[in-house]
Amino acid sequence: GAGVSQSPRYKVAKRGQDVALRCDPISGHVSLFWYQQALGQGPEFLTYFQNEAQLDKSGLPSDRFFAERPEGSVSTLKIQRTQQEDSAVYLCASSLGTSKAFFGQGTRLTVV
Amino acid sequence: AQSVTQLGSHVSVSEGALVLLRCNYSSSVPPYLFWYVQYPNQGLQLLLKYTSAATLVKGINDFEAEFKKSETSFHLTKPSAHMSDAAEYFCAVSRMGANFGNEKLTFGTGTRLTIIP
């Protein structure tokens, strides 16, 4: 596609509900990143994939957060038993590896 | 470990005036440095990057930044502000490597730039 696409753009979840956020990277991009951006803050790294391999998940804040990229293209970030502190914008970025990363518009998650 | 500090969460300048957004970094390894811009409800867009080729880096929309190792700084400037420059700006750092697109970014907390007509 023309750019990194994320869906849904907005998600409201009740506390305790599970959510799944989708990222469609630019076609052919091997590297994929997830970042979490809390209100008024800069993005913070969550996890990194190279193709289907999750090479770094050091930024995932708890075991309620899980990400996958089974075929090395689309990625899903899943949050189980959402809490209010999970409210943030979740950004996905992809790159060829040798060049800059392109960011999607993000998914704004609000936990009520 | 790497970190960046952006001095000033809000900066206001008059249209046509110089824009100066400050960024200082800390890194235990040689860094790559980046400036990103974020417009409301949009993703991050890369303005410019320092990857050790030249200390003065020119980016899009007449923005530029200078890497100063002695000051551990990477301040962003633009000679003449335009109304369309109003946005949130983020400085970021990553490890130096052959494939910087594979490196995670550590961002500052951002500076909101307001342009006064």
Condensed to tens digits (0 to 9), the pLDDT of residues A44-99 reads: 999 999 999 999 999 999 999 999 999 999 999 999 999 999 999 999 999 987 77
Give the nearest chain A residue to B107 (CA atoms): A42
Q: Which amino acid is at B105?
A: L
How far, in Å, are A84, A108, B41, B50, B115 from residue A112 at the CA level?
A: 7, 13, 21, 41, 35
The answer to whether A32 and A57 have CB atoms below 8 angstroms apart is: no
> What DSSP string runs through B8-70?
-SEEEEETTSPEEEEEEEEESSPEEEEEEEE-TTS-EEEEEEE-SS-SEEE-GGG-EEEEEGG
Tell me how far the alpha carbon of residue B45 is from its chain's centroid. 11
Decide which of A98 and A110 is more confident. Answer: A110
d(CA B3, CA A65): 24
A106 shares contact with chain B (CB less than 8 Å): yes
**CA dist., res. A111 & res. A1, Å (int):** 30
Do B11 and B77 meet the contact criterion of CB atoms below 8 Å apart?
A: no
Nearest chain A residue to B91 by CA distance is A42
Substitution target from B3, B6, B44, B89 for chain A, most A beta carbons within 10 A: B44
Q: What is the dihedral of CA B15, B18, B22, B12, to 10 degrees?
A: -30
Subunit contact B99:A4, Cβ cutoff 8 A = no
Contact present, B63 and B75 (Cβ < 8 Å): no
Tens digit of pLDDT at every position of chain B (117 positions): 889 999 999 999 999 999 999 999 998 888 899 999 999 878 899 999 998 778 999 999 999 999 999 999 999 999 999 999 999 999 999 887 666 677 889 999 999 999 999
B106: which chain A residues are within 8 Å (Cβ-Cβ)?
45
pLDDT at A72: 92
Min Cα–Cα distance to chain B from A7, Å: 13
CB–CB contact A42 B99 (8 Å): no
A2 pLDDT band (50/70/90 cuts)? confident
User: Any chain B CB within 8 A of the CB of A52?
Assistant: no
Flag whether residue B109 sits within 8 Å of chain A, measured between CB atoms.
Answer: yes
The pLDDT score that the predictor gives to residue B98 is 61
Give the residue-averaged pLDDT of A30-54: 95
CB-CB under 8 Å, A103 with B45: yes
A109, A18 Cβ separation under 8 angstroms: no
Which residues of A fall within a CB distance of 8 Å from B101? 31, 95-101
Contacts of A28 in chain B (CB under 8 A): none
Residue indicated by tokens 């704004």? A108
What's the pLDDT at B100?
Answer: 65
Give the C-alpha separation, B67 to B50, whole Å. 7
Number of residue pairs across A and B with CB atoms under 8 Å? 61
Q: Which of A45, A49, A48, A1 is nearest to A24 (CA)?
A: A1
Residues of B whose CB is below 8 A from A101:
46, 101, 105
